[in-house]
A = this chain, B = another copy of it.
Amino acid sequence: MKGKPTFHQIKGLFTEYKLTPQRKAVLEVFLENKDEHLSAEEVLRLSQEKNSDIGFATVYRALDLFEELDIIHKMNFGDGKSRYELNQMEREHHHHHLVCLSCHEIIEVKDDLLSRLETNIAQEHNFDITDHRLQFYGYCYKCRDHKETT
């Protein structure tokens, strides 16, 4: 469980904003789905299972707020909707995504061999890098096998 923030760690961030029941529900959804890449719709549905009184507008407003507080971050895998993921709080937080072009499964890669590359690029381009996103596209073993045997 190392590298994953807890509810109480995050709660401390809410000094100038209220941690309302709706926001709490959204937060819990992320904490209980740490390895998912949730769409706004999924966040709404899962939040409603906890707290029947929440609508799309509130979900989107909570997502905006949480992104600003660096609790989550927004991603895009090219399916027309934004997806959101809990931020890891440790230094070794980087991970990448394998996106299967056939079954659309998204697999996480824990590796972070990118730090050296990042340092090089930052120096060369005189650019302060604060974050990166890396997606690999291709075919997972299931889809590849299926293609080969048919």
Contact = CB atoms under 8 A, between A and B. Distances in A.
Copy number in the complex reads 2
A130 B139 contact: yes
B107 A136 contact: no
Contacts of A118: 136
Contact of A129 (B121, B132, B138): B138
Interface of A: 74, 76, 78, 96, 98, 100-101, 107, 109, 111, 113-114, 117-118, 120-122, 124-141, 144
Contacts of A144: 128
Contacts of A117: 111, 113-114
A138 B130 contact: yes
Contacts of A136: 118, 121, 127, 129, 131-132
